[in-house]
């Protein structure tokens, strides 16, 4: 979940915590978009705001202590060459969960990597997911087929399958988790990120899975989690993972009970 510092989300962490409490969640991890220069500056905090972000989450943590466990995390963009910046940034705070994201819709990303062939661009995106995992900088890869929404008319999974499978093999070797992001239901291709094929192949490779709503508004805390958990069970997952102190903990699906919110 995000904060207003990223310039495209609303609501303070306390507001997200209030919805989490109604939903029966025990805690939340705030994972706003990381600062990085000259890379989608309109969708993230500045480096000068990073301390403000840390303080914002810590204030909410103290105010909600004993009711909802609020932890500090980060969603960090990845592209080759960012490694040293990210390593230094992650060392500046006590982060509990670091998501690694590749955002192929960013103008900066497309200017660097789109050469006119959409299929090649899609392959590059998946290659970068594997590279992100191989850096060891991230606990979880966020929304790991987001590229399908860049140009839905050019999305054809079949000719990409062999490439995707090789990427998943690389990710599995790193033991990095991957996210099932329920916000995909509201995108141009209305299915979760990733879709069923990737989830099945993730399960075959025993890649840990984290479920997230990618909430940019308090009303979306835990949104579509019930459906997401059903899908995970359908592909054979028995556990979902969370991260605290950047250590993975697995929770059995049949031990998760959510409340509906009117």
Q: DSSP secondary-structure letter at 116?
A: S
From the number of C-beta atoms within 10 Å of its C-beta (0-12, 13-18, 19+), residue 152 rates as exposed
Give the Cα separation of 136 and 155 in Å (integer).
29
- Domain-by-domain residue ranges, the chain? 4-255
Q: Under a CB-based contact definition with an 8 Å cutoff, are residues 54 and 13 in contact?
A: no
C-alpha pair distances (Å), 198 with each of 38, 68, 209: 31, 33, 11
User: For position 261, what pLDDT does the model report?
Assistant: 58
- Residue 101 makes CB contacts below 8 A (sequence gap 6+) with 33, 75, 76, 77, 78, 141, 142, 143, 146
- From CA 102, how far away is CA 100, in angstroms rounded? 7
Sign for the CA dihedral angle at 12, 138, 203, 154 comes to positive
Low-confidence spans in the chain with pLDDT less than 70: 260-262
- CA dist 37 and 47 (Å) reads 8
pTM value?
Answer: 0.97
Domain 4-255 sits in CATH at 3.20.20.140
Taken in order 194, 197, 202, 208, is the CA torsion positive or negative?
positive
Closest CA to 193 of 99, 55, 106: 99
What does the pLDDT read at residue 262? 46
């Amino acid at each position: 979940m995000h904060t207003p510092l990223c310039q495209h989300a609303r609501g303070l962490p306390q507001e997200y915590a209030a919805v989490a409490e109604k939903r029966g969640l025990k805690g939340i991890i705030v994972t706003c978009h990381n600062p990085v220069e000259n890379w989608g500056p309109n969708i993230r905090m500045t480096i000068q705001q990073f301390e403000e972000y840390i303080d914002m989450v810590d204030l909410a943590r103290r105010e909600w202590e004993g009711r909802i466990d609020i932890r500090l995390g980060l969603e960090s963009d990845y592209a080759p060459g960012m490694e040293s910046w990210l390593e230094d940034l992650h060392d500046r705070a006590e982060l509990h969960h670091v998501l690694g994201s590749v955002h192929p819709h960013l103008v900066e990303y497309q200017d660097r990597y789109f050469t006119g062939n959409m299929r090649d661009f899609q392959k590059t995106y998946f290659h970068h997911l594997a590279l992100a995992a191989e850096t060891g900088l991230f606990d979880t890869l966020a929304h790991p087929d987001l590229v399908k929404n860049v140009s839905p008319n050019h999305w054809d999974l079949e000719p990409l399958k062999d490439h995707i499978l090789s990427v998943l093999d690389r990710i599995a070797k790193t033991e990095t988790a991957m996210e099932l992001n329920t916000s995909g239901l509201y995108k141009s291709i209305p299915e979760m990120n990733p879709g069923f094929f990737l989830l099945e192949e993730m399960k075959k490779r025993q890649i840990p899975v984290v479920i997230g709503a990618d909430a940019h508004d308090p009303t979306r805390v835990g949104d579509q989690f019930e459906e997401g958990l059903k899908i995970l069970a359908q592909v054979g997952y028995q556990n979902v993972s969370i991260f605290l102190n950047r250590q993975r903990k697995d929770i059995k699906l049949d031990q998760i009970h959510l409340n509906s919110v009117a």
